[in-house]
Amino acid sequence: MPVSLESDSVEFVRTYFGSAPEWAAARAARGRPIRDIVRSLRQLPREGSSIPADRRRYVTDLGRTLAYGVFADRRLLLRYAMRVWAAKLRYRLSRTDAQRFRAFEAFYVADTSLARVRFALRESEDDQAHGQRQLSCLVASIDDADLYGFSNLEHFDGQPFRWSSATAAVRLCLEPADYVATIQLVGVRLIDPGVELAVFVGTCRVSCVRFDRSTWQLTFRVAAAALEAPSPRWLIIHKRPWQHPAPAPAEDRGLGLPIASLSFRRQEDHKMTAAARGAT
C-alpha cells in the first residue's frame, strides 16, 4: 500500500521552500494579458484618445506587446536553453579536471532549470489561484507574475512603489460587483487623467478617472459587468510616459505612473462611508 508523506504535498513544499523561480517565470510568460492589451490599444484611436499621442507610438506599443507576449514562452525557453549550451561549450573547452567539474555542475543546474520551465509551460494553472485577492494591497506585495509592464521596486520618502510603463497591467481576482477603485501614487509629479491616461478592466474602458492632488490618488468606478468576463481579468493602464527634462543617460523605465498601492471598495460600502463622513 503506497504511503503518502506530508512532504509530498505541493503546498508543504511551497510553504517551507517557496516556488521554484523557473515556475514563477513560466507562469508570468504564460499568463500575460496580451489579448486584452491589443484590444484596448485598438479602441484608443477609434475613440479619439490622446493616448497614445501619435501614430508612431501606437504602432510601437502594439508591436512591443505582440513581440513580448505572443513569443514570451519561446523567449523564455531560449534563455534557459542558452545556459545549457554555454555549459556544454565550457565543458568542451575545459583543460583541467577542475574546469570540467565546474562546467558539468553548471550544465546540471541549467539542464534541471530548463526541464522545470518546459514542465511549467505545459502545465495549466487555475488563474483564480493568483491575482490580487485582497481589496487593498501595496504594489510591493504583488507577485511579479501578476504584473505586466512595471519597473523594479523603488522607494520615495520611505514609501515603496513601482513605475508603470506606457502600457501596464495588474491581474485581478475580484468577485463580480460594482467597485470604487483607488490607485495611490507617490508625490513625484501631477497628472491630467483626461489627457494622459486611459484605464481598462479587461476590454471595458473606465469612463471617468479623477485625480485628487491633495491625496495623490486616482479614483474610478469598476462596473460588475467588467468583472464577469472569463478569467483572467486585468486592470490595464495606458499612460503617456513622462518626458523628464533631464533624464539619466541609462534611463530605461517607462515613467508612466508611480504606483504605491491599489484598493477596491464595493460601491455600497463606499456610499455608506461617505454618508457617515457627511453626518459627522
- Looking at the structure, tell me whether residues 146 and 186 fall in a common domain: yes
Q: Averaged over 33-39, what is the pLDDT?
A: 79
Handedness of CA 203, 207, 213, 215 (dihedral sign): negative
Domain end marker among 107, 122, 137: 122
Cα atoms in the Cβ-side hemisphere of radius 13 Å centred on 64: 14
For residue range 166-195, what is the model confidence (pLDDT) as tens digits?
A: 888 998 888 888 999 999 999 988 888 888
For residue range 114-172, what is the model confidence (pLDDT) as tens digits?
A: 888 888 777 655 444 454 456 788 888 888 778 888 888 899 988 999 999 888 899 88
- Pairwise pLDDT comparison (229 vs 203), residue with the higher score: 203
Q: Averaged over 239-261, what is the pLDDT?
A: 75
Report yes or no on 3 lying in a domain: no
- Is the Cβ–Cβ distance between 191 and 241 less than 8 Å? no
Report yes or no on 265 lying in a domain: yes
Q: Does residue 46 register a pLDDT over 60?
A: yes
Residue range of the domain that includes 248: 129-279
- Looking at the structure, tell me whether residues 197 and 148 fall in a common domain: yes
- Pairwise pLDDT comparison (46 vs 176), residue with the higher score: 176
Report yes or no on 12 lying in a domain: no
- Looking at the structure, tell me whether residues 103 and 203 fall in a common domain: no
Cell numbers representing residue 178 in the block: 460594482
- Looking at the structure, tell me whether residues 156 and 215 fall in a common domain: yes
Q: Which residues, including other chains, have CB under 8 Å from residue 27's CB and lie 6 or more apart?
A: 120, 125, 130, 145
- Looking at the structure, tell me whether residues 102 and 169 fall in a common domain: no
For position 249, what pLDDT does the model report?
63
Domain end marker among 98, 122, 146: 122
Domain end marker among 122, 150, 184: 122
Q: Name the 3-class secondary structure at 169.
A: strand
For position 217, what pLDDT does the model report?
95
Q: Note if the pTM is more than 0.85.
A: no
For position 126, what pLDDT does the model report?
47
For position 127, what pLDDT does the model report?
47
What are the φ and ψ backbone dihedral angles of 11, each rounded to 5 degrees?
-65, -35
CA dist., res. 131 & res. 181, Å (int): 16
Confidence category of residue 9, pLDDT binned at 50, 70, 90: low
- Looking at the structure, tell me whether residues 106 and 142 fall in a common domain: no
Percentage with pLDDT > 70 across the chain: 67
- Looking at the structure, tell me whether residues 117 and 253 fall in a common domain: no
The mean predicted confidence, pLDDT, of the chain is: 78
Q: Does residue 41 register a pLDDT over 90?
A: no
Question: How many CB atoms are closer than 10 A to CB 109?
Answer: 13
- Looking at the structure, tell me whether residues 210 and 247 fall in a common domain: yes
Report yes or no on 174 lying in a domain: yes
- Looking at the structure, tell me whether residues 69 and 208 fall in a common domain: no
For position 131, what pLDDT does the model report?
47
For position 265, what pLDDT does the model report?
92
For residue range 49-103, what is the model confidence (pLDDT) as tens digits?
A: 555 545 566 566 666 666 666 677 788 888 899 999 999 999 999 999 999 999 9
Confidence category of residue 207, pLDDT binned at 50, 70, 90: confident
Only one residue has cell 521554484, namely: 20
Report yes or no on 11 lying in a domain: no
Report yes or no on 225 lying in a domain: yes
Report yes or no on 239 lying in a domain: yes
- Looking at the structure, tell me whether residues 28 and 88 fall in a common domain: yes
- Looking at the structure, tell me whether residues 114 and 22 fall in a common domain: yes
For position 128, what pLDDT does the model report?
47
Report yes or no on 111 lying in a domain: yes
Residue 178's CATH number:
2.60.120
The alpha carbon of 16 is separated from its chain's Cα centroid by a whole number of angstroms, namely 25
Which has the minimum average pLDDT: 27-36, 186-195, 237-246?
27-36
Confidence category of residue 108, pLDDT binned at 50, 70, 90: very high
- Looking at the structure, tell me whether residues 194 and 275 fall in a common domain: yes
Confidence category of residue 245, pLDDT binned at 50, 70, 90: low
Number of domains in the chain: 2
